Amino acid sequence: MTASPLHADVRVDVTAIEKHLAELWRSSKEVADDALTRAALWNVVAHTSTSETHAKASETLGKASGAVPQRTIIVRADPSAPPEIASWISANCHLVGGGKQVCSEEIAIVAGGDRVQRVPPLVNALLIPDMPVAVWWLGDLPNENEDYVLTLLEPADRLIVDSVHFDSPADLLLINRVGEKTTTMPADLNWVRLEEWRQATASIFDPPHMRARLEAIRSIRVAAGTSGSDYFGEIVESLLYAAWISAQVGHQVDALGKVEGPLGSIDYRIERRKQESDIGGISLAEITFDDGSCASITRDRERGILVTNVDGNLSFPESVTRAVVCDIDKLIVRQLKRAQSDRILLKVLPVASRLAKRVASS
C-alpha cells in the first residue's frame, strides 16, 4: 500500500456517507488526476464485534483490495455498548504500475446498544448497485440470534466464514441452512485452505488406472493439528476433507456418521495431533485400498509443499503440490476471485456435520 491523502479516516455523518465519499474523490482527483482510479468488483461487508476484530478486518481487507478492488464496509456491532452509531470513510490505494493507483473505499460503521438494529438497512443503502455482495463474518456465528444474521445477509450473495472458529457442529449446519434456504451462498476460508489438499488428493486419482481405485477405498485417516485443546474448530478442516472425499466418491453417510462404500463400510479416523503451528490444519492424510495398498499425503512445511505417494504394486511418480500457508487476506482474495459460488462445499457441509457426530462419539 502506498501513502495517499485518502488514507486518513474521516469521521462523517451517518446520513450523508455517499455525499462525503463523492467529495473525497473529487478532492483527490484534483491532487492526483489520472494517476488515480476508483474501482470496485465487490461490496465486502465485514461484521465484527470488538475493536480488535474491527482493526483486523480493516487491515485484512485493505490488503485484499489490492487484488480485488472492493467497497469495504466494516461493521462493529456491540449490543452491550452505549447506544450510538458513528461512521468513518477512507480509501485503500495500491500501485498497479506506471505510477497509477487503484483505490477502493472503506466505510466503517460502529453501532452500540439498540442502534445495532439500524445497521442492516444502513449497510443495504451503502452497497454499490449491480456489484456482488460478500459478508465476512469474523468469529463464531451467533446461533442464538439467527434473525439478525439473516437480516444482514439479506442482500448478500456470499457469506464468508472461517470454520476454524466454530465451536460446535451446529455452526456447520447453520451455514448449510443459509446456503439451502436463502440466496446467500456460504464460503468458508477453511475450505479455501483445503484447496491444496484436495488438489493433491485429486492428483493421486488423475492417472487413468487409478480412477477405478476410488471405489476400492477402505479407510481414510486424517491427522488434524491441534493446540492440545478439544476445541471443535480445530478439527473442522479435517472433517471437511473427509466429508469431501465421501461426497465426491458417492459414499453413503448416515445420521450417525457411519460411512458405506461400494465394498462395505469405510473406516474414517480423524486424529488430533498436538503441534506448535498451523493449528487446525491437516498434517497427514492416508487412504487405504482394499488390497492393503495405501496413498498418503504429507505436508512438508520446510519446503512449503504437499507430497503424495502411492505404494503397493503401482509405479507412480511422486507428486508435489505447492502449499504455502496463506494469510487471511489471501484466502479472502481467492474466495472473491471465484465468480461462482462453490457448489461442492454445499454438498460437503451436511456430510461433515454427520461425520462430526461420529468423531464426537468415538
Partner 1 sequence: MSSVTAPTQAPAANPLREGLEQERVPDASSLVIFGASGDLTGRKLLPALYSLAHDGLLPAGQTIIGFARPDFTDDAFRMAMREACDKYARTRPVDNAIWENFAKGLFYVQGDFSEPSGYYRLNQKLQECDRTRGTGGRRIYYLAVPPQFFPVISELLGAEKMVTDPERGGPFTRVIIEKPFGHDLQSAKELNRVAVSTFRERQVFRIDHYLGKETVQNLLVLRFANGIFEPFWNRQYIDHVQITVAESIGVEKRGNYFDSAGITRDIIQNHMMQLLSLIAMEPPVAFEADPVRDEKVKVVRALREFPRGSEEENAVRGQYADGSVLGEKAVAYRKESNVSPESKTETFAAMKVFVDNWRWADVPFYLRAGKRLPKRVTDISIHFRPAPYPMWRKLRGVSTQPNVLAIRIQPDEGISLKFDSKVPGPSVRTAPVTMEFRYATSFGAEPPEAYERLLLETMLGDSTLFARRDEVETAWAWLDPLLNAWAADTRPPDFYPAGTWGPESADKLIERDGRKWRRP
Q: Is 131:40 a contact under the CB 8 Å cutoff? A: yes
What mask, x for binding partner 1 by CB under 8 A, covers residues 29 to 48? Answer: --------x-x-x-------
Site string for partner 1, 254-293 (x = CB under 8 A): ----------------------------------------
In the shown chain, the binding pattern of residues 54 to 83 toward partner 1, with x for contact by CB under 8 A and - for none, equals: ------------xxxx--------------
For the chain, report the end-to-end CA distance as a whole number of angstroms: 49
Contact flag: residue 222 with partner 1 (CB under 8 A): no
Site size for partner 1 (CB under 8 A)? 48
**What are the percentages of helix, strand and coil residues in the chain, rounded to 5?**
40, 30, 30
Q: To the nearest whole angstrom, how small is the minimum distance from the Cβ of residue 323 to partner 1? A: 10
> Which of 5, 83, 121, 207 is close enough to bind partner 1 by CB under 8 A?
207
Closest by CA to 281, choosing from 160, 193, 362, is 193
Q: How far is CA 276 from each of CA 190, 191, 227, 280, 300, rounded to the nearest angstrom? A: 19, 22, 7, 11, 15
| DSSP 8-state class, residue 159 | E
Which residues are registered as beta bridge partners of 95? 101
Nearer to partner 1 among residue 151 and residue 319 (C-beta): 319
Out of 88, 136, 205, 268, the residue judged to bind partner 1 by CB under 8 A: 205
By CB under 8 A, name the one of 3, 33, 144, 212 that touches partner 1.
Answer: 212
In the bound state with partner 1, the residue whose beta carbon lies nearer, of 64 and 161, is 64
For residue 248, state whether it binds partner 1 (rule: CB under 8 A): yes
Stretch that binds partner 1, among 19-27, 43-51, 222-230, 242-250 (CB under 8 A): 242-250
CB 171 within 8 A of CB 82: no
Quick check: 249 binds partner 1 (CB under 8 A)?
A: yes
Euclidean distance between CA atoms 87 and 227, whole angstroms: 38
Which CB, 150 or 320, lies closer to partner 1?
A: 320
Q: Which residues fall within 8 angstroms of residue 238, CB to CB, at 6 or more apart?
A: 222, 223, 224, 270, 282
Residue whose CB is less far from partner 1, 39 or 284 = 39
SS3 326: coil
Give the list of residues 6+ apart from residue 128 with CB closer than 8 angstroms, or none: 40, 43, 71
Start-end of H helices in 205-327: 208-211, 236-249
Stretch that binds partner 1, among 3-11, 13-21, 208-216, 227-235 (CB under 8 A): 208-216
**Cβ(234)–Cβ(223) below 8 Å:** no
Question: Which parts of 293-332 interact with partner 1 (CB under 8 A)?
Answer: 300, 303-305, 308, 315-322
Give contact residues for partner 1 (rule: CB under 8 A).
37, 39, 41, 66-69, 96-98, 102, 195-196, 198-199, 201-203, 205-209, 211-212, 214, 244-245, 248-250, 300, 303-305, 308, 315-322, 337, 342-344
